[in-house]
Amino acid sequence: MAIVACCALAWCCGHSAMAADANATPVAWLGDTSEADNSSLIAFSSSGEGSITVAFRAQGGPPEYTPATVIADAGVDGSPFSGDYTAAGVVGLSFRITGDGHVPRFPAVVLVGKKSGRLWYNPRVTVSSVAGEVATNNVSFDLSAGWATDVSGDLAAMWQQDLQDVGMIGVRLVQQGLEAQSFTLDDFRLADKNGFITPPADMSPLEKALWAAFGVKSLDQLTDAQKKQDLDGDGMTDINEILSESDPNYANSIFAADIVPTGDTDGITIKWACVAGAKYTVFRSQDLTGGFHALTEAVDILAMKTGYMTYKDSSATGEGPYFYKIVKK
């Protein structure tokens, strides 16, 4: 007899549990050239979601001072990049820089306290001298990790005050020499003690759903307790609902497919609620990570009356497990 696991079923293939986090990386960047001698030498552009490119034009005469600062989510309501980092458990920042082989002068992470207006900077930023090579930077928010300010006073007290009231955070770059050069920043994320608070923008739908539900990016990172978690109490684990494209937050919107005990050893019979005139397709999977596939002989089955309908999957004769999903047309 086949070993069967029957999953809860989506009314249709809902994707609300798969929605991307709008704050995965900055939704907007502000380029600031207010410190530059000649702002026309600096240009900003985006090369993809959550990324920002800073380009410095070639200089022909005596070198002009060209600082360029890019600020994450400047003016964006609800952005995780401003506000109380301490209360949010933020302990660090991670981002990537890819250049064209030049290394900018004085690269630094900058942070400004909203009420105090104090500017803090951390020069422990690495940029590769190899064109196209990605340099990943991880910057701690521990004061001793390289943070400094030009304001005198009790640094520890001021730092803690400003971490509780961050007005802006970004990266400051200065052109090195007279040659044209460009640098792209992406994967700009905050982190707490357990990992990233804001996930990267390039995650797959499955990775985003796992991140939203469990704070991990892969199935093998789930604990045994997480694998058994069933927050809505509908009998199907949250991870199986994610894998079957259901939404664990809406128990009332899903079917439960019941196994019909028949005594047969040559297949599995399942039963589900139906509405007269609707058509239903039976999908099956033996490995949820590989997705569901419609059973050829169970596509658009017409319900003749409201109540229940059944389908015998005669091909389910192996060891299993078998997972089923019913989709209403």
Q: How many CB atoms lie within 10 A of CB 68?
A: 25
Residue ranges and CATH numbers for the domains of the chain are: 8-19+206-328 (no CATH), 29-200 (2.60.120.260)
Average pLDDT over residues 297-310: 86
Residue with tokens 């030049």: 102
pLDDT reading at 249 higher than 70: no
User: pLDDT of 51-64, one tens digit each?
Assistant: 999 999 999 888 99
pTM: 0.56
User: pLDDT of 263-276, one tens digit each?
Assistant: 667 788 888 877 77
- For 267, residues 6+ apart whose C-beta sits below 8 A from its C-beta are 2, 312, 313, 314, 315, 316, 317
pLDDT reading at 97 higher than 70: yes
Average pLDDT over residues 35-40: 94
| Amino acid letter for position 219 | L
User: pLDDT of 179-215, one tens digit each?
Assistant: 999 999 998 989 887 766 665 556 666 777 776 677 6
Looking at residue 2, its pLDDT comes to 34
- For 45, residues 6+ apart whose C-beta sits below 8 A from its C-beta are 52, 53, 55
- Going from the C-alpha of 301 to that of each of 98, 109, 286, the distances in angstroms are 54, 60, 22
Residue with tokens 């109540």: 307
User: pLDDT of 149-185, one tens digit each?
Assistant: 999 999 999 999 999 999 999 999 999 999 999 999 9
Q: Which of 192, 226, 222 is nearest to 207 (CA)?
A: 222
Average pLDDT over residues 30-51: 90
Q: How many CB atoms lie within 10 A of CB 255?
A: 20
Percent of the chain with pLDDT strictly greater than 70:
79
| Amino acid letter for position 135 | A
Looking at residue 80, its pLDDT comes to 87
pLDDT reading at 257 higher than 90: no
Average per-residue pLDDT in the chain? 80
pLDDT reading at 79 higher than 90: no
**What's the CA gap between 16 and 19, in Å, rounded?**
5
Q: What are phi and psi of 42, to 5 degrees?
A: -125, 135
pLDDT reading at 21 higher than 50: no
